[in-house]
Amino acid sequence: MARKTTKRILIALGVAGLLGALWLTAVVVSGFSEGFSPGGSYAEDFNEEYLVRGASGDKVAMINVVGEIFSDPENTSPGASDTNIVARLRYAAEDPAVTAIIVNLETPGGGVLASDAIYDEVREISEDLPVIALMGDVAASGGYYIAAGATEIVAHPYTWTGSIGVIAMIPNVEEAAGKLGVSLNIVKSGELKTMGSPFRPFTEQEREIFQSLIDEAYEGFVEIVSEGRDLPLERTRELADGRIYSGAQAQELGLVDHLGDRETAFERAKTLADSPDASLVVYRPIVGFLEALNPFALSSPTDQVIEELGVLRKPGASYLWIP
């Protein structure tokens, strides 16, 4: 009996030691993955995947912008974060074999600053390389903002795009709080310190202030579209009333260059780059050892719900289409 007990103890200790060694190895290996973060990758953490193999060494890189666009300075969340997308754009632009870029947009838009950061990168790269904005089912608001910086825009006839405008949503829970018997004691340094409080309606002064902030961001959006699409400012304002356009309607109005799909965008990219035999590539993040062991490390269920529903991650103005 004593021998059996000793044997079991030794087996248990062996298993525990093995698990401990695996954990330690994972920590060490993970520590060597510089620049890696759970939500995406920096340049050194990309794998290149061929979607179409051409006969030459030239490449057209496709960068996917899928879901709500949001700011993530630490690059800790999956999805269309500005850090994630800009890293891929720069990686493509720095590859001497890449002769053109396709920005594949499947997004209702998102944060003002995040959309602008991606637009700036697209605009800068388009000065040296052809950049084709490819619109999927939805490429609205911040998605269109980014597309305005591209060399050309390709949309499907039934794409939903446009929604050129700015929105901020500030909830009012005053009635619900009253029913629950919830009240606030507030001590503040100035009359407007609690502007936007969800526990009371706006004052007229507060509404005017918020509207001025929205109008300022809106004017910036209109100028971006006017410049990118070579449209007069007043004509752009007429189109920028927040409405959604189909891809076909957008082309008629001068907001889109070509109607088609990924193949159309690929052909346009090769034509503009004079690379008829180029390959089409996309970048995938390299998953670290710890992340491979944890299926939820790269994308938690909460992150997936947020990405699918387009839930705003923080207060503020957004270039976002919200039905």
Q: Which residues are catalytic?
A: 141, 193
8 A C-beta contact, residue 285 and residue 143: no
| Residue type (1 letter), 39 | G
8 A C-beta contact, residue 298 and residue 78: yes
Residues 6+ apart with CB under 8 A from 86: 117, 118, 121
8 A C-beta contact, residue 137 and residue 161: no
DSSP 8-state code for residue 115: H
User: What ranges in the chain are assigned the alpha helix state H?
Assistant: 2-31, 82-94, 112-125, 142-147, 174-180, 204-229, 233-239, 247-252, 262-273, 289-293, 301-309
What is the C-alpha to C-alpha distance for residues 151 and 142, in angstroms, rounded to an integer? 17
Q: In the chain, what is the straight-line distance between the N-terminal and C-terminal CA atoms, in Å?
A: 71
264 burial via Cβ count (<10 Å: 0-12, 13-18, 19+): middle
* CB atoms near residue 282 (< 10 Å): 18
| Residue type (1 letter), 175 | E
